[in-house]
Amino acid sequence: MEDDSRQQAPPLPPRTSFERTITVVRGNHSLGMSVSAIKDGTGILVRSVVQGGSICLDGRLGVGDIILAINGEPASNLTSAQARAMLRRHSVIGPEMR
């Protein structure tokens, strides 16, 4: 006879996430992050943040965050090479990235 008195673990809470728009001022620093495209096409994943770079100094974007758009241009369905090119292109346009 099996013991049915075992308790099951409670269900995990739903994943919480939120979306926000930030503006990062690059200034004289590099952005200072490495990224890759997310395989399901949802955006660009921040893989690392370099000390002293604009992203680190700003402090609002971190490892594991997902970039959905840059200056209004969607960051979905990109390859990793396209994602890096997109970041370079927008960082050359001006000192601010939104």
Is residue 23 within a helix (H) or strand (E), and if so which, with residue range? Answer: none
Q: What is the pLDDT of residue 68?
A: 92
Q: What is the pLDDT of residue 65?
A: 92
Q: What is the pLDDT of residue 73?
A: 92
Question: How many domains, in total, are found in the chain?
Answer: 1
Domain containing 83 equals 24-97
Low-confidence residues of the chain: pLDDT under 70: 1-17, 92-98
SS3 content of the chain, % helix, strand, coil (to 5): 20, 20, 60
Residue 13 belongs to a domain: no
Tokens representing 23 are 């503006």
Residue 56 belongs to a domain: yes
Q: What is the reported pTM?
A: 0.74
